[in-house]
Structure 1
Amino acid sequence: MFAVSLRLSAALASTHPEIAAFAAGSDLGLLGAPCGLGPRALRDVRAGQDAGRFTVADAEVALSAVAGGLLGVLRLRERQPARVDTNVVDEPTDGCLRLLGVSAIEARRLAHRPRPAETTWSMALSAPASFS
């Protein structure tokens, strides 16, 4: 579920540019907000640690690195829209999963799975992570 949430968040640059612009303009300050993607993503990283899927020692440091990658993709889309489409987000997702400790083979598999329909993006971002 973390991979899906990350891919959908990065795809906001193409699917919902106004939301992406707000997120990109907020920098990493959104991570400390009491609601929204930051707390949900931290919950999901910790769930991944508890399930043994993520091997990072510090969930908050790992989330900061992942969020930096996401913001980079969102900002690149703002500056060079032709370079970032909804399929481009799979590579950064692959890298972020490996950063969290997922094996390269598994990260590639998860990052390149079919994405849910665009209409389900808000449900995926609010659902608790599943690591079964």
Structure 2
Amino acid sequence: MTGRLHRPHPELSRILLHHGLELARSESGSAPRAVHDIRAAVDAGRFGVEDLDLALAMTAGAASALGALLHSQPDRDDARSADLVTSGLLRQFGIPADEAERICALDLPDIEVADTLAR
């Protein structure tokens, strides 16, 4: 979902790009949720991640790089690009390619950006 907010919410995107890596180390906001989700996937045997902090850093770096690329290439398909980055991360964390593609093809929940950031 984060990869798809850059075009419809460019101001929020710029804030994330400017502060994203420090937010990834924050003890509040989305960072603890991301660590929880990665840990849950490891505990369930879905992810083969040895270092949760490194996995979070890789995810935050990929999200930041995607946002910067989308800003620099306004004609790039943001949804397709977000799916490719997500699929690549899932595969990197141990999900088979066909499963990563299936996951990325699922419909995203219809949520408001403000609600997401408040969590």
Pairwise same-fold verdict (TM > 0.5): yes
Say whether 1:21 aligns with 2:14: yes
Moved >6 Å (runs of 4+): none
Say whether 1:39 aligns with 2:17: no
Quote the residue 1:3 is aligned against: none
Amino acid at match of 1:106: E
CA distance in 2, matches of 1:121, 1:62: 25
User: How far 1:121 moved relative to its partner?
Assistant: 8.1
User: How far 1:96 moved relative to its partner?
Assistant: 0.7
Quote the residue 1:114 is aligned against: 107
Quote the residue 2:57 is aligned against: 64
CA distance in 2, matches of 1:51, 1:90: 23
Question: Where does structure 2 lack aligned partners over 5 or more consecutive residues?
Answer: none
Q: Percent identity?
A: 34
Question: Where does structure 1 lack aligned partners over 5 or more consecutive residues?
Answer: 1-7, 127-132
How many aligned residue pairs are there?
Answer: 119
Contact 1:14 1:86 in 2 (8 A): no
